[in-house]
Amino acid sequence: MSFSAVDVIRAKRDGAVLTDAQIDWVIDAYTRGAVADEQMSALAMAIFFNGMTAAETARWTQAMISSGERLALHVDRPTVDKHSTGGVGDKITLPLAPLVAACGAAVPQLSGRGLGHTGGTLDKLESIPGWRAALSTSEILSQLSSVGAVVCAATEGLAPADRKLYALRDVTGTVEAIPLIASSIMSKKIAEGAESLVLDVKVGSGAFMKDLTSARALAEALVAIGVEHGVRISALLTDMSVPLGRAVGNAVEVAESVDVLRGGGPADVVELTVALASEMLSLAGISADPAAVLASGEAYEVWARMIRAQGGDPDAALPVASHKHVVSAPASGVLSTLDAYGVGVAAWRLGAGRARKEDPVQFGAGVLCLAKPGDAVEAGQPLLELYTDTPDAVDGALQALEGAYEVTDAAPERSPLVIDTIRG
C-alpha cells in the first residue's frame, strides 16, 4: 500500500494516531529516499509537539528494526546488554561488560561515540593502543562465544532507518521527542538480538534528561517497547548531577575502569557497576555475586581477553596529554557542588569530546576531579586537573567551570546514586 508523505504529516500534525500501515510505509520510504528529508523533518516536528501512543511508538520501533538486519546470537550463555542514556564520567560499560561475562552471561555491547559534553564508550576504548571498534557480525559472534563480552560499533546493517533519522533529528531541533528517543534506542538494541536489556537512564545536569519527571517518562517508554517486543527489560534511574568517578575523558576513564576491575576505583563507579550487573544477571536468570567476582580479579581477566581479541594491548601505556592546568580550591571548607554539566563541557573543550560526529578527539584530554562533593578542602588545594594537547583550550574550559564548583561550610545532602528501578 502506498501513501502520501504529506497526508501522513498532516495526520500527525492534527493529532491523529498513525496506523501501522502508515508507519511502516513512511519509515521504509524514508530509508529508501522516497520521502525527502524536509518531509521527515516536518513529521518529526509534528511528533515532537503531539507525541505518539505506546502502540505507535512500538510500531515505529519495529519499522526501524525491519529496515535492516537482526543479529541472531547463537551462543551457549544467556545474552544480556546494557544501555546508558549518557553522562559525564560514565565509564560503566568498561568494567560492567567483563564483570557480567565473568559471572556467566554473554554481553553484546554495541556502543557509540561521544557528542558534546557526554563521552562515548568507543572513544574511550580507542585510546588503548591497537584496539579496534569495527567488527564484522562473524567476529562479534566468535568473540561472544570465546570471551563472553564484546564492546564494538554497530554494524552498518542494524537499523539503518534510525541512523538516517537520528542525523536528521540532530539538526532539526527534534532530538528531545521522547517517542523518537525511545524508538531510536530500542530499535538498535532489539536488532542487536540480546534476550535481556537493562537501561541506565540518567537524570541531572549532566544528563540528557535534566529532571526526574522526564527521565521517568523516557524510562517507562523504553521499558514498554521492550515488553511489547518480548525482551526481558528493566530501567534504573540514576543520578547524573555530579560526574561519575574522578576521571572525565578518554584514556583517564580507561585507567579508572582498570582500577575498578582490579578491585579498587571510586566508590560510586563500583556501586553503579555492581547495581547494573546485579540487575542484568537477575534478568538473565544467573545466580552470582558480582561484587565478589569484581573483587576477585576474574572480571579483569575477561577485560584483558576482550581487549586482546579486538587487537588492543591491555598492558600498553595509555596516552597522556602534553599540558596540565590545576584548578585550586578558592577557600577552605567542604566541596558542596561539582556540577556534572560544567565538568563535561570543560572536558569537551579540552579536546576529549567533539562538536560534530566527524571531529577527532584527543585521547589524553580530560579532567581529573581530585575532590568530590562532601570532601573537606583547604584554600589553594588542587581541586581539578585539566589535561589537553592544546593549551589554548584551557581558557574555554575554565569558562565552562565558572560556577560549577563551590566550597561552603557545610557538607551537602547526599542524593542516592540509584534513584529508582522500573521493571517490565
- Helix H or strand E segment including 383: strand 382-388
Which of 169, 189, 232, 246 is labelled catalytic?
169
Pairing outcome for strands 366-369 and 247-249: antiparallel
The span from the CA of 164 to the CA of 63, in Å, is 13
Give the residue from 187, 186, 131, 181 showing the smallest Cα distance to 157. Answer: 187
Q: Is 229 part of the annotated catalytic residue set? A: no
Strands of 10-119, DSSP E? 80-84, 107-111
Interatomic CA distance for residues 174 and 144, integer angstroms:
36
From 81, 123, 162, 259, the catalytic residue: 162
Residue 188 bears catalytic tag:
yes
Is 169 annotated as catalytic? yes
- Which of 127, 183, 184, 196 does the annotation list as catalytic? 184
Classified as helix, coil or strand, 98 is helix
Cα 167 to Cα 357: distance, rounded to the nearest angstrom: 10
DSSP code at position 373: T
Active site annotation includes 372: no
> Among residues 12, 59, 82, 83, which one is catalytic?
83
Active-site residue identified among 12, 59, 117, 188: 188
User: Is 211 buried (19+), middle (13-18) or exposed (0-12) by CB count in 10 A?
Assistant: exposed
Euclidean distance between CA atoms 378 and 288, whole angstroms: 43
Which of 220-259 are b and which e, b meaning 16 or more Cβ less than 10 Å from the residue's Cβ? bbbbbbbebbebbbbbbbbbbbbbbbbbbbbbbbbbbbbb
Question: What span, in angstroms and rounded, lies between the C-alpha atoms of 268 and 373?
Answer: 12
In the residue annotation, 200 being an active-site residue is answered as no
Provide the greatest CA pair distance for the chain.
71
CA distances from 117 to 177, 307, 348, 350 (A): 20, 26, 6, 11
Tell me the catalytic residues.
83, 162, 169, 184, 188
